[in-house]
Structure formats: structure tokens, C-alpha cells
Amino acid sequence: MGKYYFIIGLNQRNSKRPESFVYYGTYKSIRLLYKNKVTRISRGFDSLEKLYKEQQIPEWRCTKCGGLVGLHYYNKEQLIEHKLCQTCLFFFEQKKAHSNNPKKIVVEGDLYTMSSSDNDSGGFKGYGGRTFKIRCLKTGKITECNNLWHQGTPPEIWKDEFPNTHEFIND
């Protein structure tokens, strides 16, 4: 017998589906259908009323993607203030972070942060310390970075907000 699940963050590039939605079926069918491409799946509920109540889903929907919003997760005040779902709030914050920070870059539609090689992350480096050569599309300047962190791939509805700023140079 199926149950109702609240799914957050369908992690598919070019997806037309809202970033958060309700699915009726089994947990196994979610995993098979979406191939582990979701950020979070609620526990199953026998009725929509129980799901909406426990997940604190308001009547309004995300103003960016049209998806449902679960207010019981973190950043409740920001979700309400901006009327965004969890995924869209993440990319809204990334957009603010990218606006004037030269360490925040976009390559082939993916978001990255170039951290310094002597960061305070306990010896951990992005991509295991692999060195990347990166060219700024605006200035042509080439930078080497051995501490690059992937920050996500924006969904289709956010694609225009993050034009490419850099490119990887392969030797």
C-alpha cells in the first residue's frame, strides 16, 4: 500500500518539475523513479492532511518554482520572508554570495568556491587538493586553485541567474 511523501530538491538539471512536491507511492518506488536524485524524503503518511500538518506545509507555494514549502526545516523565517522553498532559498542565497565575491565562480553552469590553499578546514581540501587551472571569462586571467569546492548545479529555473564566469583549462 502506498503512502504520501514530501520530496525536497529534485536534483535533476533541466527538470521542469517543482523543486519540492508530494508523491504518492512506496519509498522503494521513489528511489527507483528518481534514482537517488532528491535531497530529502519525508517519512510516509497515510493521508495528505497528516503530511501537510506534520511537515508544516503552508497554503502558498514557492514563488520561484511553484513547489511546496516545508516550514519544519531550517531557515523557517527566511522561507516565509522570501516565499521560497528550501532548494530555491539555497540558490537565492548563492546568488547573493556570488554577486561580489571573486572566489565564487560559475563553470559550465555549476557553482564553485575557490578557497585558499591554506584554509582552516582541518587539512581537508576540495577535490582532494587536485589543482585546477581556471580562466576568468571577463578578464582572461588564469588562476590555479588546489582547493575548489562544488556548491551545486542550479535547476533550470535558476540557470539564467548564474551565467558562466570562468572556464576550466585542460592541459
Predicted TM-score (pTM) of this structure: 0.79
In the chain, the percentage of residues whose pLDDT exceeds 90 is 43
Q: Please give the average per-residue pLDDT across 93-99, as a whole number.
A: 91
The grid coordinates listed for 114 are 575557490
Mean pLDDT of the chain: 86
pLDDT per residue as tens digits for the range 154-163: 888 899 999 9
Q: In terms of C-beta distances under 8 Å and separation of at least 24 residues, what long-range contacts does 37-41 make, across chains too?
A: 37/10, 37/11, 37/12, 38/7, 38/8, 38/9, 38/10, 38/11, 39/8, 39/9, 39/11, 39/86, 39/87, 40/7, 40/8, 40/9, 40/73, 40/86, 41/5, 41/6, 41/7, 41/8
Cα 55 to its chain centre, rounded Å, is: 20
Query: Residue 31 belongs to what H/E stretch?
Result: helix 27-34
How high is the pLDDT of residue 14? 47
The grid coordinates listed for 40 are 530529502
* Residue 138 burial (10 A CB sphere; 0-12, 13-18, 19+): exposed
Please choose, from the candidates 113, 111, 112, 109, the residue with its C-alpha nearest in 3D space to the C-alpha of residue 159: 109
Confidence of residue 111 (pLDDT cuts 50, 70, 90): very high
How high is the pLDDT of residue 140? 96
Phi, psi of 81 (to 5 degrees): -60, -45
The grid coordinates listed for 147 are 582547493
pLDDT per residue as tens digits for the range 6-59: 887 665 544 555 567 788 888 888 877 776 677 778 889 999 999 999 989 999
